Every structure is written in C-alpha cells, then in structure tokens.
Structure 1
Amino acid sequence: MRETDLAVSIADRAGAIGHHVLSLTDSGFNDAAKGLETLYREILNMTRGWALTSTNFETLNSAAIDLHDTGRRIAVQVTARLTSRKVKKTVEVFLAKKLDRKYDTLHIVGIEGIRQSKHALKWVTITHQESILSTAGLTLRQLEKLDERLGESVPWTQFTQRSDFACFEVVLSTLNRDAIRHSVAVEADFGDMLRALRQIKQMVTVGKAEGIQATAKAASAYASFAYREQIEMIDEEIGRMTRLVRKGLVGDNLLPPAIGKNVDGVRESLVDRVNRFSEAHGHHTRIQIQR
C-alpha cells in the first residue's frame, strides 16, 4: 500500500536526519540545531495544526524558547539531545522570565534522550523526534507532504556514494599535519595541537571540519568494513591523544614528560596503523613523525 511505503520512507529519512544532526552537534557544529528548529516547526504545524513561528525576541531567546504559537499559548524548545540538565535549565529560565503567564504549555523536543524528568512540571512535555514524526492517523496527503519535506532536509551529499578510497584520501591529508607528525619534544604550541586534533576528529566522524574546505563523508557512510574500522580506530586514538593533552597540560604550554611519553605512544601506534593500512589499500600518503 502507498501509505505503508510512505511510512517506511519517513522513518528512514528521519533516521538519516537524526544521525546527521547528532553527529554534527557532537563534533562541535552547533548551528545544525538551527536547521532542526525550522524542520520541527514545519512538521508540528503540518501534523498538529499549530501555527508555530520563530520567537525572534530577545527575552524569549534568552529563555531558550525557539518557537511559539501565541494564539494557542504554546512554547517550544528544540534541542538535539534531551537531557535532564537541559530540561531543568529550560524550566528554570522559563519560570524566571515569567513566561508561564504567556504560555500554558512548554514542549521540549529533541532527537533522542530522556523521556521523563523530575524537572518537567505538569505543563511541560518532553517529546522525541519519533513522536512528532509518528505517521499514525495521518491522511495520505499528509504522509506525502511529510515525506517530501523530510526528503528536502536529508543531507544527501553526506550519504552519496563517493568512493571510500577518495574520502579516506581526504582523511589522510587532514591527518598528515604537525599535530600528528610532531612528537611532544618538538611540539611548539599545544593549543594549536588541540585545535588540529579537533579538526581531525570532525573530519573522520562527520566528513567535514571547521577551517578545512575539503570534505569526506560521515564515518557510518563508508561502504567497506575495513575502511569503517580504520576510521573508528582513528577517531578513538585522536580522542585518547586529546584527553591526555587536556588533562596533563600545565599552564598554557607545558606537558609533563610522563604524559608526553603516553601521548607519543598513542601517536606512534596511530601512525603505524594508518601507514600500514594505506600501503595495503593503495594510498600513497605516508606519515612521518618528527622526533
């Protein structure tokens, strides 16, 4: 049936959007939530008959309320991840700004996270993306419109069939830099090193990085298990290096010898594994550590 096919398509597209936005926000691209706000506004208006608009008022923005329907006295907060801390903060500021006098209900909507919170009062509703995208009770025309709207929001360029080889070449070019090549003994600026490690982590997880024009693809989009495994390894090791440097850094630019030795140990293991993988899969880049 047409309705069943549309329901499956909507679920698939919603999953792709959710995965993409969470990956971006987890990698530091917080502007991804703004697009989510627009999408949720249109979907809630379409499926629930609301008339939500962006708040665009200083007092409301400071209260972390993104959308409102003043006629129905509805306020909506959009977030990627629903956490108890997020709910608590939103409710506290909502009350502090006396917005409960203007709105009867507050909906905190996100992709995933908690379903209940002790901080959610009786007029506060925590709603997951899967709930606002429920197809139960929708007409065929509504299903078609919802499927079409989600299709427009799916970042297809992040899921295109660019070859694993080509995308890994971009990852290699991002890896082959001083943050990886320089051992602790010759590292000039650990602040620069941490920024570079952040860019590498962004590139391997979501396929793009702040300050770098080249793009790859998200880790989950690699077709080959071998490439996915290698990308996951790089992500884990870059994370380990980052944690060691952040935890061990003394002042602005001093890393104790014992911590430095651990950092270099992770670096050498990472470089060795990447170089062996590159050789086995026909990549010409080889990373050389400067000691």
Structure 2
Amino acid sequence: MRCTAPLTLALVAGVTALDFSQSHDTNSSVWSAVAKAPASASSSQLLSSRLWNRPSKRQTGWSPPSNLANALQEVWNHCMSTYSNFWGFKNYGWDQIHATGGKINVCVRWESSATITEAQRAQVASVYAAQYQKWFSWLYGYDNFPYSKIDVNVVGWAVRDKSLLQGSTAGITVYTDTDSEGAPQCSEACGRFFHQDGNYNSCPGGASAHYDQSLWLTDGWSGGAGGDWGQRIGREYFIGSLGSSNVHILLHEMGHTFGLDDFYDWLPTGQTNFIMNAGSATVITDFDGWMLRNWWNGLSRYRGWQ
C-alpha cells in the first residue's frame, strides 16, 4: 500500500479507486519467482502456526512471539511513516467488516468473453471465501476480535453479456454496467466504495443487495492488484487455480485490502519468505498473520472498537 503514489484503477466514468498494491504486483515476472519458493509451509512453520495461530485461550493486547517482534515493529513504523493518511483513511477492509457486522459481500467483474457454468461460479465463490478464511483464522479468538466467523458471499456478477453465465443465476444480481474503459462493472449504486456512508437507497434491493468488494477477473492479466475496492487477478490464473488450496496472488492482494504493505524496496530484519513479499511464498506465514494482527490491535483501539 502506497497512498503517497498510488496506482489508480478506473471503476466507472469519472471515478478512480485508490490501489493499495504497488505497480510491481502487475508484473508477471515478480510472481514467477515463487517457483523458487517453498510450495507449502515447512514443518517448523506448521508447528509455529499451531502454537500461535489459534490461541488456546483468548489473548488481549500485543504479544507477538519474540523472534518476530522486532521485524513487526519495523513494518508498523514503516507503514506509519509512509502511508499518507494512515489513521484517517476509512475504507480499509477492517472498516468494511465493522460496518456490516462481520460480513463481506463480493461482486465478480468477469472481464472476459468466455462462458462460465453455474458449477464453476459456485467454485469461484467457495475458493474465494476459503482464501479469506486463511487470513481471518489469525483473528478469530484474538485480542477481542468480535467475530467467530466472517461470512464471505458472492452476491453479484458483472458481465458483457448475460448469456456468458450458463445455468441458473438465482440468488445473484447480474450487472451489464461498464466502467469508463468498457470493462464490466458492478453497479455503482450498490458499491461500498461509492457509498462509504452506508446509504444504498439508490441500489435496487437496498443495503441487503450491496457489495463491499469486487473480485475483478481479467483475460490475460498478469500479476494482480488490490485495495479497498477489492482485488484484480488474471481470469485464466484464477480459474486454473480453483483446485488449489492456496491461490497465492489472491492471498497477497487480499492482504492489501486489509492494509498490509508491499516489500519491493525493503525487507524487515530476518524475514524473507512471506506472502506479502510478492513471489517469495505461496502460503500465509506466521509473519503475515502477525502483521494482520498488528493492524487489528492498533486500528481497533484507534477507532474505539474495543
């Protein structure tokens, strides 16, 4: 996340969104390096995850493991000094789940001429939600986090033509809106990014039909992008990853939605392989999880949520 020099992404005519990821995320060569990284967590990482990920009793306050504490402080200090509106920005993923009481509604932007079956759409929703749960498992039961389960639901699809959605579309809203560049766009009237005051009176169906984030799947897109508006990754990459446990580019971009930074120009002491260091890991590591916890610990107190 670099609020001082953001990459902007067009959503609808005349509107741009702040992109929390650096432009390097869109470079496919960054992600090809992950082939040299471990495909899964090591046994020591898994043991550490069992010890630290889901506390046996509820913890309050900031109590990271000693081998990560200094590096975590370096990251926090770096974010505080480089984000242009660290505390004042009010649309982090944290703000979104606070507003909804622990839910994330997602609209898929299908920037493709390919058809997609009803079964594939169900897989998209399931795999997307599973990736978010990998992050949220670090929060359940930790430091007065108020939710034991954050529901992640796909509530809409934006397409060039409704015929691309094969089978029944019951239970979702289908949009044929486009942004200023002609890409399929979920309705502005129903989007959290456009209505951060929570007023969805102009959305057909009202607040219950709103979406908080977009999953933007684009043909031929290399790499990814992420921010308060959601995540953008390649359509072919994501559909090809539906059988995978860890969709690592998506995991990285989801981290940006919740404020986590990139590490293209520096690394914290003693840390080299973790999901937010693009191309260095395919799983959320202990260090990633504790960075997320650091955000909850700091932001929840500043916002008065605990």
> What TM-score do the two structures reach when normalised by structure 2?
0.22
Identify the structure with the greater helix proportion.
Answer: 1
> What TM-score do the two structures reach when normalised by structure 1?
0.23
Question: Of the two structures, which has the highest relative contact order with CA contacts closer than 8 Å and spacing of 6 or more?
Answer: 2
Identify the structure with the greater strand proportion.
Answer: 2
